[in-house]
Each structure stands twice: as C-alpha cells, then as structure tokens.
Amino acid sequence: MEAKSNVAKKQKYIFVTGGVLSGVGKGITAASIGAVLQARGIAVSVQKCDPYLNVDAGLLNPAEHGECFVTKDGAETDLDLGHYERFLDIELTQKNATLSGRLLMQLIADERAGKFGGKTVQLVPHLTRSIQDSIEEASVGSDVHIVEIGGTVGDYEGLSFVEAIREFASRVGRENCLYVHVVYVPFIGTSKEFKTKPAQNALNDLRGFGIVPDAVVVRTDDPAPVSVARKIALFGGVHEDAVLLMPNACTVYQVPLTIASSKLSGLLVKFTGNNREADMSSWHKIVKKQISKPAKKVSIGMVAKYMDNEDTYISVLEALKSAAWAENVDLNIGWIDATTAKNSDFKKYDGLIVPGGFGARGIEGKVAAAKYALENDVPYLGLCLGLQVAVIAAARKAGLRNANSSEFDSATDENVVYIMNGQEGKESTGGTLRLGDYEAVLTKGSKVAKQYGSTKTTERHRHRYEVNQKFLPEINAGGLTVSGLSPDGKLVEYIEAPNHQYFVATQAHPEFKSRPNRPHPLFLGLIKAAK
C-alpha cells in the first residue's frame, strides 16, 4: 500500500528528467520554469535529486563535477543549486539537495536500530519511499515544487529515483504532477540533418519505466526546424504543442523568456490554474545588459588551477558578469594557470581575482598574483584561499621568507595560515569544514565596510584553515590590515590594503550570494576599481 500523504492536493510538483546524455541543461530548464512561475506570482521551491552514492558533493573532484555549491546551512551540493538560487533569488538548504548516499545511510541506520521490525529492506519500496518523503519535505511552503532528477534516464543508479517519481503520481494525484523530459538532438554535419532517433529512444526509455512526459524540451546546438518537434511528438507520444525547441542561447538568462513566450507556458497555466500574465521585465533587462557591448572594456585575470572545467568557478564567473553588467562595462575574463603563473601573465589585466581551492598545486602562482597586485596597485579580490595567499604574500614581503600555510608546508614555523581548532585530523573527511553562513564584524571606515554599507555581514564559508593572528604584526608590515573579524574576534574574515585602490580579500565565498540583478558589493568594488 502507498504511504498516506498529508500533502494538500493543491500542492503541485514538476519533475525534470534528462535523456540522451548528461549535461543537457536540466538544471537551467528547471530553474527557468521556476522563474516563469514566479513571474506569475506563484511560490516556487526546487530540489536536485542525484543518484550518486556520495553523501554530499563535498568530496567530489571539482575538475570532473564542477563547483561545490554551499547553502546557507552548510550543505555541500551540486552546482545546479547555484543556478536555482541565481534564477529564483532564493536561499536553499540541505533539504533541496538529495543524494542516494545520504538516504541509504539513514535506511541502514534505521535497519540496524530495528525500526523495520525484521522486514526485508529493499530499494523498492523503502528507498523509493525515502525519496518521496524527501520531496514532500522540501516542497513545504511552496505552491509548486520543481524536482530535477540528476543523470540520464536509463542509468542503473538512477532507476530508484525514476520509480519514485512514477509512484509519486499515485501518492499525490497525477493531476498534481507534471513531467518534463529534456533531450538532446544532434546535428550531423556530413548529412546536414538533425537526428531525432536518440531523443526518440530516450522517450521510449522513460515510457518503459511507466512515465509518459507531459512536455519535452529539445536541446540543440543550432536552431532546429519545426519538423524536428513534429517528429518527436509523433514518435514520442506527446502533443506537438508540448514540444519546445531550445537551441543554444546567447545567454542562459534568455531561457526563461523563451519558455514564457512558448506554448509550454500555456501548459504551465493549465497545470497550475494560474493564468496571471507573467511579468518578465526583469529578465528582459538582464538579457539586454548581457548582450549589450559597452564601449568601456575591463579585463580581469582569473588565477586558477582547474583550467579544463570552467564550471569549477561558475559562481565566481557569474558574480563577475553581474558586476560588469551593473557597471556597464564589457568584461573580458582571462584565465591564468596558477601552476605556471608569473608576473608577465598578470600585466595584461586591469584586475586580478584568486578564487577558493584546496591543495598545494598552483599555490605559488596564486601567491605571486597577490604579491604582484599588492606591489603594483592592481585591483585584487581574494576569495577564501585568495585571502590566505594574500596573507602569505604580505608576510614574505615583511621578511618572513618561509611564510606559508600549514596546509602546504606542515614543517614551517612561519605558519601565517594554520588549521583551525577542532579541525585537526579531518583533512580528508567530508562535511567537517567550517560550512555555511557566519557573521563578521567589519572595521568602521574600512574599504569592505564602505562596500557593504554596513559594519556587519553574513557570508557563506567553506574552509578548514585560518589566519594565524600571532603573525599580524608581520602581515601589517607587509601592507595588509585586518578589516573584519568573527564576532568573538578569533577568526580573520576580511583583509585589505589601506593604501591600495582596491585590494580586498575575504575568508568567505561571497560569490554564492551574488545575483544577476543584484551583484555582490565586493565584486562591484573590483570592477569599479578596474574600470
């Protein structure tokens, strides 16, 4: 028997799945649908369900999986949650990220505690029911809850999630569920035609698992003819009006506008019962700003070590772009390989940014970037590790030639950055860093206080190492001052160069709170100084 649900029948659910290949754009699609619903005054929540056996995204390799996005309550999550927050301008929590590993850990713990009364514990119905429970829990407070299922339909590890959302229709009523399938249609250059067969097969896979989608989003690199939609509708078992052709756009922020002006919008009206005209004016403004070409050009050097996957730094990139749009400048982001970086690499840029990261690889290149910016009055923004390398650079400038972080040199007695109390022995352990929102008190009159317009801030964190305040005299002598501390004064949260046009660094990750229509003040400060 199905578990009795206490969810009101008016609660609606939209499930977004993907076929053909991964990375097809499910996250952007889910976020964009949510944005269109919000524009109609509908309260939206969103959730990512990933079939990985990981408990969270904290230990996933960023070179392979991209950015680890951190929520306000300290959950280490998939980068799609960053898309959700930027598109919907909401703050998500642990409830909005569900991985198989976390659910299975709880099931096994419950089994060991005897909570199943000796019954056989199985993927169906126990894991599927846990998935459904997590969906209902994450939906509280919304009118429409959007759930993205990670991976590709047909993957073995994802079968429990597909079965769970199939069963969910019986749990809350099919009329309260809308299934959207995102597929990819390739263009074959030799024959000069779009090939729909992979998409047809992907739809067959989904139907084979008992789900007939209500809508299909067709991703293509270039605009496809209407015949492609007709063929997918015919062989996929969906109405032609429910097939949306979605070619690559000049900006991802165009996607909500595409959905709002498509026939899919009518389907959403019918599903929600809300026929209020969508106010997309803010999205038109964002797109207009992004596609404009201002006369003023600004070039920012990103000193990074994951050069093969820009998604590792996606929130930083989006924060820079948002600040550039607000300042009406044409932004060029140049990539500087931290493993080989030297002064000549920095000279061509109007400003430098050093993002967060872990591990010793490329660290001297990042220190060199901070040193160059400090000595040449080049605008600089350091994020997390970017603060730590700035401190190292200042201490070395003051005469501490062996200044380093104990993360990179455990033997140094000039550990200007050291491991935080309580973090010893946890270096390779997931979920144990200082994570999530923490407050800071800023020095009155400092650059950071002026940028924030306040002497109090709250930013998200993800770190294990901290500035060693024993070396503050040397750090000060090297040209940096502390401009923000934790409320108890024990942790350095912000540093700056008082005699520098803009040299600011924070132990936090402010990029996670930047929005396309509300850029973060520290990124605004960098772009303004670099103009």
Chain centroid to CA 161: 22
d(CA 147, CA 46): 6
384 classed as catalytic: yes
C-alpha span between 237 and 11 (Å, rounded): 26
> Which residue, 226, 229, 224, is CA-closest to 200?
229
Helix/strand/coil percent split, the chain, to 5: 40, 20, 40
Q: How many Cβ atoms are within 10 Å of 439's Cβ, its own excluded?
A: 12
Whether 318 is catalytic is no
At 29, is the secondary structure helix, strand, or coil? helix
* 407 flagged as catalytic: no
Strand order in the sheet with 12-18: 97-99, 44-50, 144-149, 12-18, 177-184, 215-220, 243-247
Distance CA 251, CA 231 (A): 27
Q: Among 83, 461, 509, 520, which one carries the catalytic annotation? A: 509
Which stretches does DSSP call E strand in 202-354? 215-220, 243-247, 297-304, 330-337, 351-354
At 6, is the secondary structure helix, strand, or coil? coil
CA distance linking residue 345 with residue 371, whole number of Å: 13
- The active-site residue out of 85, 136, 496, 511 is 511
CA dihedral (300, 505, 314, 280) in degrees, to 10, reads -90
Residue 498 CB burial class (10 angstroms; 0-12, 13-18, ≥19): middle
Spatial CB neighbours of 112, under 8 Å, sequence gap ≥ 6: none
Q: Which of 384, 463, 496, 520 is catalytic?
A: 384
Alpha helices, DSSP H only, in 68-157? 80-88, 100-112, 128-139
Angle, helices 314-326/80-88, rounded to nearest 10 degrees = 20
| CA 235 distance to own-chain centroid | 35
Q: Catalytic positions, please?
A: 384, 509, 511
